[in-house]
Amino acid sequence: MRTPMIAGNWKLHKTLSESASLVRELIPAVSANRNVEIVVAPVYTALHTVAETLAGSNIKLAAQNCYPEPQGAFTGEVSPLLLKDVGCQYVIIGHSERRQLIGETDELINRKARALAEAGLGIILCIGETLEEREADQMFDVLRRQVRFGLKNLSAAQMANMVIAYEPVWAIGTGKTASDEQAQEAHTFVRALLAEHYNAQVAGATRILYGGSVKPGNVDGLMSQPDVDGALVGGASLKAEEFARIVNFQSLG
């Protein structure tokens, strides 16, 4: 059985006081839920404050990015070891906003994945196609490339700390959501890629999250799909009541 994960990516939002206030409101709203792995990913500057506020709760801490070196002359970057030191248990990499706005390549994202694996941190690897790629029938080619390069030189044992987040770029922040069937189709394909790249055991054990305008109103249907193992939530994770409802989803299956 794959334990569902609901992760909140706060992106570039929330000051220190706002971050602490959000998690203080969230903690009691999800404290009874022991069946879902709950993760929040604040901005770098709030990581320590949020880590202290989360102490003793059932919510884990993630960072939104990292640099693939432990230390060195890399001005402005943050390493996996520093993120581990501040209390992070997961790191998000390969988000479409970083691929598109920052120009991150598959090669760089793979370097990050390997660095995180070596540091013993959990990895949330984001993949997904743009609207143009979907309409040009390139979705499967894009997903195959991103999975193949993203997981390059990662062993089957290291996949125990890997979570994949399928985020169709056309559904991120647009209010559009892939239908339950579209999400399942993509997740089924990605799981088959994992079986091809590794084996059936790894494919069956790896969690695949859906991301892209996940809200309280659509999470139940998405989570009813057999290959949807959770959600990477953007805007709705900035409101404790909405995020708690997503965490406490009601599977319709």
Whether 77 is catalytic: no
Helix, strand or coil for residue 147?
helix
Give, in degrees to the nearest 5, the angle at Cα 231 between 246 and 199: 145
Task: Give the active site residue among 133, 167, 187, 242.
Answer: 167
Task: Give the active site residue among 37, 95, 104, 187.
Answer: 95
When computed from its CA atoms, the radius of gyration of the chain, rounded to whole angstroms, is 17
**Among the listed residues 70, 65, 103, the one whose alpha carbon sits nearest the alpha carbon of residue 85:** 70
What is the phi/psi pair of residue 105, to 5°? -95, 165
Cα distance from N-terminal residue to C-terminal residue, the chain: 15
Distance of CA 252 to the CA centre of its chain: 23
Whether 95 is catalytic: yes
Active site positions, annotated: 95, 167
